[in-house]
Amino acid sequence: MAQKIQIIAVAGAGTMGLGIAQVCAVAGYKTLLFDINPDMLSKAKSAITKSLQSQVDKGKMLAENKDLALSKITFTTELNDLVADLVIEAIVEKLEVKHQFFNNVAAINNPETILASNTSSIPITQIAAKIPFPERVLGIHFFNPAPIMKLVEIISGVQTNLQIAEDCKELISSMGKTCVMAKDAPGFIVNRVARHFYVEGLKTLEEQVASFEDIDALLESSGFKMGPFRLMDLIGVDTNFSVTSSMYQLFHYDGKFRPNRIQQQKVDAGLHGKKSGKGFYSYE
């Protein structure tokens, strides 16, 4: 499969999209990074360049390999440029937007082009349902930051061709990632298990058992690399809240997945975490 794939398109130049594009380019694939916002593409190019240079400075990458990886990436605002063997979307977590994007991409590609979503929680079966040849639609869920995190979930919807899922596992594994196969359940594996890390942390804060700083410090001293509040800030408070809200609905409003109003207030105030300069912590 890795030999058959020559061009990979990534849609969405946010934190996840640019990270996925970097992974693909470093692995030697011609990579198209698409976003409708040219400013996002400019920021993505700077972020990828900075990330690769950091690897060079640490002696983990040769300077010539950094230049080679950068030469593999084409930055574009033109949807019609997304003619590829594999398309991975990392756009907004709204089902109707994903349907529109994939249908537009399907119209300019052949039926063999694999269409993958990096969604954190939207069922792959729902995404595939309104896309031509739904058997070639699956989830390829990277974790943030994509160049560093080894784990990738490969998710099969009800109609996904299982051979395509296996081929994608082989492809992503060849990029140095550890792949796990998941069925199409709400939150898949990681977000389902980890949801309570955030929800219970927020509930503990809401009940004034401890400050968010102390909750983080306790969990980090217990072996977690980041506490729930520091991790929410890194992921994006808004993104994390959106995933919780989606899972709450998908689990038919099971109380254990109920979103927290403290997090809702942060989102309403535009305090989205590290990317906005302030979330639970200040980064200004």
CB 192 within 8 A of CB 122: no
* β-pairing verdict for 178-183 and 114-117: unpaired
Question: 151-156 and 137-142 as β-strands: parallel, antiparallel, unpaired?
Answer: antiparallel
Q: Which two tokens stand for residue 90?
A: 């990392």
- 18-30, pLDDT tens digit by residue? 999 999 999 999 9
Domain annotation for the chain: domains and CATH numbers: 7-183 (3.40.50.720), 192-275 (1.10.1040.50)
Pairing of strands 114-117, 30-34: unpaired
Per-residue pLDDT for 2 more than 70?
A: no
Radius of gyration for the chain, computed over Cα atoms and rounded to the nearest angstrom: 19
> Alpha-carbon dihedral of residues 131, 99, 242, 161, nearest 10 degrees?
20
Task: Give the integer Cα–Cα distance in Å for 233 and 4.
Answer: 38
Statement: residue 43 has pLDDT above 90? yes
Query: Is the separation of the CB atoms in 100 and 94 below 8 Å?
Result: no
Output the DSSP codes for 191-239.
Answer: HHHHHHHHHHHHHHHHTTSS-HHHHHHHHHHTT-SS-HHHHHHHH-HHH
Which residue in the block uniquely carries the two structure tokens 């249908």? 103
CA nearest neighbour of 42 among 75, 88, 80: 75
Predicted confidence (pLDDT) per residue in 216-248, tens digit: 999 999 999 999 999 999 989 999 999 999 999
What residue spans of the chain are helical by DSSP H?
15-26, 38-57, 63-71, 95-108, 124-128, 162-173, 190-206, 212-221, 228-235, 237-250, 261-268
Element (H, E) at 151: strand 151-156
Task: Look at residues 41, 234, 238 and name the one whose alpha carbon lies nearest to residue 148.
Answer: 234
Average pLDDT value for residue range 153-174: 96
Catalytic positions are 120, 141, 153, 191
The Cα 19–Cα 39 span in angstroms is 17
Distances (CA, A) of 58 to 18, 63, 119, 193: 21, 11, 32, 34
Q: Give tens-digit pLDDT for 127-157.
A: 999 999 999 999 999 998 899 999 999 999 9
Cis status, amide bond into 145, omega within 30 of 0: yes
DSSP state of 174: T
Q: Which residues pair with 156 in a beta bridge?
A: 138, 183
pLDDT by residue (tens digit) across 70-101? 999 999 999 999 999 999 999 998 999 999 99
Please tell me the distance from the alpha carbon of residue 37 to that of residue 48, in angstroms, as a whole number. Answer: 17
Confidence of residue 121 (pLDDT cuts 50, 70, 90): confident
